[in-house]
């Protein structure tokens, strides 16, 4: 049923949803890769589409910026629209010397400086992780496409314009990159008993320098999109 943030009717959203933060990236994926794509949502400009990829129904929808926004859209998809799997396709800032501009990262787990988990009644410090089977499928899809990737720990932060040195300690313990949504997705999936994985592209590097322009962030990074789509169509198959 429609929610305050999603006008989709029952049955209009597939069981597997790709979720970029940018709704224009969602539209780009739908127009570029999906057959017979139909828009099911434009509330608050958060575009959502369902179409066919290699004969299988797949949806793609924007999730917005930050953990709270991701938490809203992911929960509504899981709880009200019978979505089983969300695959985040987003950008991240490189922290590790082992990643470079344009690299694809599969997020095994996501630390955070957010207080999001306390609103879920969790005491202590949660360590949300990707669904392992889904992550395996993403890795297999990347290899099948001939794309390299890095898999590891990322940081989800609440602050885009951070203070100098804010990520030095995270970098020191091996965080590959910093972004703003994966913790929210993984915790929400865990709460709902559903599956999630984040596939990220390094759009800038906080230590080595360099930053991608807005158009490249919206329309580029097709490797992570194709990995996500291949993961989606193989989800549930053994």
Q: pLDDT tens digits for 22-50?
A: 999 999 999 999 999 999 999 999 999 99
The answer to whether 204 is a known catalytic residue is: yes
The pLDDT value recorded for residue 238 is: 37
The predicted model scores a pTM of 0.94
Task: Show the tokens assigned to 212.
Answer: 């991608």
The pLDDT value recorded for residue 60 is: 98
Mean pLDDT per block of 10 residues along the chain (238 residues) reads: 87 98 96 98 96 98 96 97 97 96 96 88 85 98 97 96 94 97 97 98 92 70 96 74
The pLDDT value recorded for residue 30 is: 98
Contact 197, 134 (CB under 8 A): yes
Would you tell me the crossing angle of helices 23-33 and 222-234 to the nearest 10 degrees?
Answer: 70
Q: Hey, how many other C-beta atoms are within 10 angstroms of the C-beta on 50?
A: 23
d(CA 59, CA 49): 5
Classify each residue of 71-88 as buried b or exposed e, where b means 16 or more C-beta atoms within 10 Å of its C-beta: bbbbbbbbeebebbbbbb
What are the residues facing 16 on neighbouring strands?
85
Between β-strands 35-41 and 56-61, what pairing exists: parallel, antiparallel or unpaired?
Answer: unpaired
d(CA 83, CA 6): 13
Long-range own/partner contacts, residues 47-53 (CB < 8 A, 24 or more apart): 47/23, 48/6, 48/8, 48/13, 50/12, 50/13, 50/14, 53/229, 53/232, 53/233
What are the residues facing 82 on neighbouring strands?
none
Task: Show the tokens assigned to 181.
Answer: 């949504």
Which domains, ranges and CATH numbers included, belong to the chain? 16-234 (3.40.50.1580)
User: Of 82, 103, 113, 204, which one is the catalytic site residue?
Assistant: 204
């Amino acid at each position: 049923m429609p929610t305050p943030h999603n006008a989709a009717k029952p049955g209009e959203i597939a069981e597997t949803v790709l979720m970029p933060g940018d709704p224009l990236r969602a539209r780009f994926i739908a127009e570029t890769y999906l057959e017979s794509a139909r828009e099911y949502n434009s509330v608050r400009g958060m575009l959502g589409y369902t179409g066919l990829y290699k004969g299988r129904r797949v949806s793609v929808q924007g999730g917005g910026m930050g953990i709270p926004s991701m938490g809203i859209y992911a929960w509504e998809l899981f709880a009200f629209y019978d979505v089983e799997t969300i695959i985040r396709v987003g950008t991240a800032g490189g922290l590790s010397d082992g990643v470079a501009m344009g690299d694809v990262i599969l997020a095994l787990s996501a630390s955070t400086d957010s207080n999001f988990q306390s609103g879920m009644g969790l005491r202590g410090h949660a360590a949300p992780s990707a669904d392992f089977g889904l992550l395996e499928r993403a890795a297999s899809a990347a290899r099948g496409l001939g794309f390299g990737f890095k898999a590891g720990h990322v940081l989800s932060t609440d602050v885009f314009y951070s203070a100098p040195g804010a990520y030095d300690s995270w970098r020191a313990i091996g965080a590959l990159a910093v972004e703003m949504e994966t913790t929210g997705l993984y915790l929400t999936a865990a709460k709902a008993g559903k599956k999630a994985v984040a596939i990220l592209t390094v759009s800038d590097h906080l230590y080595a320098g360099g930053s991608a322009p807005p158009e490249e962030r919206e329309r580029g990074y097709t490797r992570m999109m194709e990995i996500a789509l291949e993961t989606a169509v193989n989800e549930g198959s053994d």
